[in-house]
Amino acid sequence: MRARYKPWAAELIEAHPGIVIPEPEKLKGRWQEEFGNANPLHIEAGSGKGRFITGMAQANPDINYIGIELFDSVIITALQTVLETEGGIPNLRLLRVNAQEMESFFEKNEVDRMYLNFSDPWPKTRHAKRRLTHESFLSLYETVLPKNGEIHFKTDNRGLFEYSLTSISDYGMLLKDVSLDLHANEPEWNIMTEYEEKFMKKGQPIYRMEAQYNS
Ligand code: SAM
């Protein structure tokens, strides 16, 4: 998702260092201190405009959330949601960074769950290494998650879903819950992402899985 270039975005982000954390590496191993509690930490890699992560944080005040997004022009919408929410969203922080660098921001065991929603599919075989469910990423996530940590993944893209099922099971992870049409019987706890709403309205099935590391 690449929103139109917004020259004012960087300025607004800089004006709110308590929400979009400017130097997250300084908080590595200290996120509980940052949130002021010992609640679990759930993160989303590629959080886009933040509909999912802001909704989850509001629905689950006893869990801390971090949304990771590459682009100023996109993350700015999540920041605006926080600013427009009365009282803010105290259990949410945003990082405008590359999720590939997450080892610099989190210690082992510091993250309790990872969300991947509508990750870029990179359909060409030669780009498979860029898919966020490639084994190199699964290995990266394992460095910040605890033993038996979980990844929760949703997508509209059948090719990416099939690739991910194989990649995740080849990695030795346990597939706990797999749905080929999440909205056929939408769980009451489901919080939609921007992309999810768009594809659901077009009548496309949404695929979802929960996967757990076995070490
Ligand atoms: N999760 C949102 C949703 O479901 O509506 C956005 C989906 S969009 C297709 C994928 C997002 O992931 C884009 O906003 C993109 O900038 C971001 N992204 C892709 N690779 C990333 C990376 N390595 N680190 C952080 N964000 C990334």
User: Does the Cβ of 13 fall within 6 Å of ligand 1?
Assistant: no
Q: Is 14 annotated for ligand binding?
A: no
- Buried/exposed 78-112: b ≥16 CB within 10 Å, e otherwise: bbbbbeeeeeebebbbbbbbebeebeebbeeebbb
Assign 96 to helix, strand or coil. Answer: coil
- pLDDT at residue 1, as a whole number: 54
> E strands, the chain, where?
41-45, 64-68, 92-95, 113-117, 150-155, 174-179, 207-212
Please give the Cα distance from 57 to 15 (Å, whole number). 22
Q: Give the domains, in start order, of the chain with CATH numbers.
A: 9-212 (3.40.50.150)
Mean pLDDT in consecutive groups of 10 residues from the start of the chain, 215 residues: 74 96 98 98 98 98 98 96 98 98 96 98 97 98 96 98 98 96 95 97 97 92
ipTM more than 0.85? yes
User: Does the Cβ of 138 fall within 6 Å of ligand 1?
Assistant: no
pTM of the model as a whole: 0.96
Strands 113-117 and 207-212: unpaired
